[in-house]
Amino acid sequence: MSDIVLIAPYEKMLSDAKHVIEKRHYTNIAAVFGDLSAGLIAASDALKNGAKILISRGGTYSLIQYVSPVPVVEIKTSPIDFAATIRALQNIDDIIGVVGYANSMNGYELLKELGKHVIRAELKNNNDSVEDKIKDCVDSGAKVIVGDAVTCRTGSALGYTCFLLESGEQSLEDAFDEAERILQAIEREEELIDRYRTLMDSVHDGVLATDENNRIVAVNAPACRIFGLEQKDLSDMPLGVLDRYGAVIREIAADVPLSDELRQIGSSKIEISNYPIRSGGKKHGSIAVFQDITAVQNREKKIRQKLVQKRLTAKYSFATIIYKSRVMGDCIAIAQKICNYDSAVLIEGESGVGKELFAQSIHNGSKRRIAPFVAVSCAALPPALIESMLFGYAEGAFTGGVRGGKEGVFEMAHTGTLFLDEIGELPFELQGRLLRVVQEREVMRIGGDANIPLDVRLICATNKNLHELVTDGKFRKDLLYRLNTLRLYIPPLNERTEDIPVLAELFLRKYNGCYAKRFAGFTREALSFLKRYVYEGNVRELQGMIERAVIIGEGDFIKEEDLCAGLPDPFYGKYPQSKIDTVGKAGEDPLSFGEKNLSLKAAEDRYIREIFAKTGNSVSETCRILGINRSTLWRKMKK
């Protein structure tokens, strides 16, 4: 069945309509016969077959329009149609009664202009009787009745002379054109509704819209899943059907603005926002957005699991950094500010201070947290493969390459973070290419002929002085300035001794679990040793020392000798600095050198050790007296 169907109330209109449909090539319009009740049956059949628009005239139009769920176009009577009837009335001098609806009487004034005596009897609605209107005209002297098919059929049955007011081809064309315009509008609206529904259903958040009467006018699939109902159970229903889900539904009905309110609906935690719609001081409903936090957490978990499978995830965050010192707290505060920006970061610090720990924490504290985190040590990459590892290669770039080529770490980190550790070890000849990738945010694979756009946050780390490398001609100055946009310095463990006890306790718990040990803690002497020990390897060295002590130690507490075991240098061995003679030989000044003809190096070493002993092995006091920092002190004592 066609989308548009004409219900013709008389046979001549049916034949005229078919002629117009064929002549004007209306491919989506059909015409059937039906007058009054027969017209209602024909309209019902058309609707069952998928008709979207109906067309009719007069009383049949009024009946159909009253019950039809789809638009009904009326064929209007024009003066031209009336003119055709006037020709048949030219030789009639009797009073003429015109009976019908207002829109079917257009042009009856022409009869008056021709000197005819006309009585007009208008039908106001479907309750008006056509027969009564005809009789009213006859009682007023009318001998001839003019009207539509219903009027003429009724008048003829009463014995009166009747003339049918027909609709011409132009009126039919006008009705067909109007129906097609309405159909196009309907189809556009349906398309928009489908797009709107697809858009609403495609988002992860639940969306529910109400009108000014708190009826649900739109609801998407995620919202239905949250409430455990079907869309048909919610569409066009009062919002009250959801009252059992708690006070938040009543808040939505009362136009209470909500922003990221966390509520419990069923077994899920739901974050709810409500946006009341007002215009001109009047309520026009609201739009409520429901985000299933449980589902969000599950989606993020799946994403992270996929990244873990590819080894492209960061497992550390600022919450995992254990510290007690103020200097480390300041360092973390700076790093947290850095998270909010995509500029390149250069992390400096000695080996073992936790540069990658900070790099991962910055990534997990940024908007890129669910994107890949790719970590590469420039010192660990084989010289022959470092370029292809960084930038990737195209198919056929060299013998033995993977078919289809291979992406480099920059492409692997797209939308996420790339961490280049030991950046000072990057060969000088590759630094220019790295600079171009960082500046242009695009990479070309080895052997490729196209630039690949990148969205990567770059974090680099080094334990070397890059400015000295620039001076020595081993590092590009322009690359340093590009990488050094945001600088973060992580102090060595020897400059934050307050962190040593808490880190030692952390590693003790870890290795207790690993080796099924039950050490309750450290002896006072062991903790004192840990605090004054000079850590060349920083936290990494402390961790190894605790692991070794847990393995070889016995009893309830880790003792000083457990920590000293395996240390090769006498200064760090079984008898640490606290056991060194602090008074010298009998009769000597504690700060005298004792021997004659000492070298400057030996004299310096003797003097530093004696100051250290004199201060009771206090690193800070020794540094104060000598006017040097902790790093210099431990370096000189090590030598």
Mean pLDDT value across residues 270-294: 86
pLDDT confidence of residue 587: 38
Distances (CA, A) of 7 to 107, 235, 480: 24, 33, 83
Question: Looking at residues 4-33, what average pLDDT do you find?
Answer: 92
Q: In what order do the strands lie in the sheet with 282-292?
A: 216-219, 206-210, 282-292, 268-279, 258-265
> How many CB atoms neighbour CB 260 within 10 A?
9
Residue 579 has pLDDT above 50, yes or no: no
pLDDT at 399: 61
For residue 566, the model assigns a pLDDT of 66
331 pLDDT band (50/70/90 cuts)? very high
Cα angle at 204 between 203 and 206, to 5 degrees?
Answer: 90
pLDDT, residue 56, reads 92
Rounded average pLDDT over 79-84:
72
What percentage of the chain exceeds 70 in pLDDT?
A: 89
Go through the domains of the chain in sequence order and give each one's CATH number: 4-75+174-182 (3.40.50.2300), 79-166 (3.40.50.10660), 203-295 (3.30.450.20), 336-491 (3.40.50.300), 494-578 (1.10.8.60), 580-638 (1.10.10)
Q: What is the pLDDT of residues 518-564, one digit of tens each?
A: 999 999 999 998 998 888 889 999 999 999 999 999 999 999 888 88
pLDDT grade for 589, boundaries at 50, 70 and 90:
very low
What number is the average pLDDT over the span 51-57?
A: 93
> What is residue 424's three-state secondary structure?
helix
Query: Among all chains, which residue has been given the structure tokens 């209602």?
Result: 40
Q: For position 559, what pLDDT does the model report?
A: 92
Mean pLDDT of the chain: 84
**φ/ψ (deg, to 5) at 5:** -130, 130
Q: Per the structure block, which two tokens stand in for 282?
A: 């009047």
Give yes or no for residue 61 having a pLDDT over 90.
no
d(CA 321, CA 319): 6
pLDDT of residue 486: 94
Q: Which residue has the higher pLDDT, 316 or 194?
A: 316
Q: What is the mean pLDDT of residues 415-428?
A: 92
Q: pLDDT value at position 475? A: 94
CB-CB contact of 607 with 591 (8 Å): yes
Question: How confident is the model over 194-246, as pLDDT tens digits?
Answer: 887 777 777 778 899 999 899 998 888 888 888 888 888 888 899 988 888 88
Q: Which residue has better confidence, 618 or 471?
A: 471
Rounded CA gap, 563 and 129, in Å?
A: 112
How far CA 90 is from CA of 83, 105, 147, 155, 335, in Å, comes to 11, 18, 16, 20, 100
Higher pLDDT, 614 or 521: 521
Is the pLDDT reported for residue 173 higher than 50?
A: yes
Predicted local confidence at residue 472, as pLDDT = 93
Residue 94: the pLDDT is 86
Q: Cβ(352)–Cβ(539) under 8 Å?
A: yes
pLDDT at 584 over 50: no
Give mean pLDDT, residues 330-350.
93
Does residue 573 surpass a pLDDT of 70? no
289 - beta bridge partners? 207, 273
Task: Please tell me the predicted confidence (pLDDT) of residue 639.
Answer: 61
CA distances from 373 to 189, 313, 438, 453 (A): 45, 5, 17, 18
Helix (H) or strand (E) holding 270: strand 268-279
Q: Two tokens at 586?
A: 């009998």
Instruction: Examine the pLDDT at 306 and tell me if it is beyond 60.
Output: no
Kindly tell me if the per-residue pLDDT of 572 is higher than 60.
no
Residues 508, 509, 511, 516, CA torsion sign: positive
State the average pLDDT over residues 141-163: 88
Identify the residue with better confidence: 403 or 463: 463
**With pLDDT > 90 as the criterion, what percentage of the chain qualifies?**
40
Q: Mean pLDDT lowest for which of 274-283, 553-562, 625-634?
A: 625-634
